Amino acid sequence: MKNLPLLFCGIFFTLAFSFTGIVLTSHLQFGGLAQTTEELEDDGEGQLVMIEGDPMFPRIEGGVALQGKQVYIEMGCIYCHSQQIRRESYGADIDRGWGPRATVARDYITQERVLLGTMRTGPDLANIGGRLQGDAGREWHHKHLYNPQITSKGSNMPPFAFLYTLQKIDGNPSPKAVSIPADSEYAPEPGYEIVPTRRAEALVEYLLSLKIDYSLPEAPILD
């Protein structure tokens, strides 16, 4: 080839083409989505508007859960767990009870770092907080993180025991102690208990906060 201007223009425009088409157009089309109410109402002039006073979704991330998200990032959880639910009839995500509806672009707008993931060595976590809730959920997560074999025998998830401390029971047992059954091979020696570090607590709060329990106008939860 001798036509160098053509070569250089071609090299430039081929990438400019996809940069414009994929990155910039995405940014323009859905890079400015805002929070909304679960349903919209007709304002009487044929316009659909948000219902005043209704709560806005998706929720803003914050508090301890946000610190927990940092732990999730530091541990590289994303490399085995996705956070996206595919639509009914495309895969078995909904059949498995991983969530009540498919996730859509707006579900992610309040997240500073989006952790969609591309691998499911373990199950999807987009709605893990909806599947395991409250104190029972918290207890399950701590046992599972301390050693996945306790709750899920045969799992290949690594234990995160380094997020927990083994301590001698001094007087009353700690209310935070992980409730491993005494007959379990992973139970601490009598007189000792396993307590979560702040990071483990934050991580569990994050997992509990991952919930798709709200509708969006474009993605309602159908009964």
Partner 1 sequence: MSQAPQNLSSLNPYSSPDASIRAELSEIDASLRTSSLFFITSAIFWLIAGTVLALIAAIKLHEPNFAASSELTTFGRMRSAHLNAMALGFGNNMIFAVCTWIMARLCRSSIRHGGLLLIAGSFWNIGLTLGIAGIIKGDITSVEWLEIPQYATPLLAISYILIGVWGIMAFRFRKGEHVYVSQWYFLGALFWFPWLYIVAQAMIIWAPAQGVVQSVTNWWFAHNVLGLWLTPMALGTAYYLIPKVLGRPIYSYYLSVLGFWSLALFYNWAGVHHLIGGPIPVWLISAGVVASVMMVIPVIVVAINHHMTVVGLHRQGWRSPTMRFVVFGAVNYTLVSLIGSTMALRNVNLITHFTHFTVGHAHHGAYAFFAMIMFGGVYYMMPRMLNREWPSAFLIRTHFWMCAIGILLMVFALQIGGWLQGLQMNDAENYPDFIEIVKNTRPYMIIRSVSGVMLLVGHIAFAINFFWMLFAAGTVRAKQGPTLLEAKKEGAI
Q: If binding means CB under 8 A, how many residues of this protein chain bind partner 1?
A: 74
* Residue 183 binds to partner 1 (criterion: CB under 8 A): no
Minimum distance between the CB of residue 134 and partner 1, rounded to whole angstroms?
22
Site for partner 1 in 196-215 (CB under 8 A): none
* Contact partners, residue 116, CB within 8 Å, separation at least 6: 82, 83, 84, 108
Minimum distance between the CB of residue 220 and partner 1, rounded to whole angstroms?
15
Minimum distance between the CB of residue 144 and partner 1, rounded to whole angstroms?
12
Minimum distance between the CB of residue 20 and partner 1, rounded to whole angstroms?
11
Minimum distance between the CB of residue 208 and partner 1, rounded to whole angstroms?
19
Distance of CA 113 to the CA centre of its chain: 11
Cα–Cα distance between 46 and 155 in angstroms, integer?
Answer: 54
Preceding omega of 58 cis (within 30 degrees of 0): yes
* Residue 187 binds to partner 1 (criterion: CB under 8 A): no
Task: Locate 2 and state its tokens.
Answer: 């001798």
Site for partner 1 in 6-65 (CB under 8 A): 7-8, 10-12, 14-15, 17-19, 21-23, 26-27, 29-33
For residues 221 and 38, the answer to whether their CB atoms sit within 8 Å is no
For residues 126 and 141, the answer to whether their CB atoms sit within 8 Å is no
One of 35, 67, 133, 152 touching partner 1 (CB under 8 A): 152
Region near partner 1 per CB under 8 A, out of 47-55, 59-67, 90-98, 173-181: 90-98
Neighbours of 80 (CB within 10 A): 16
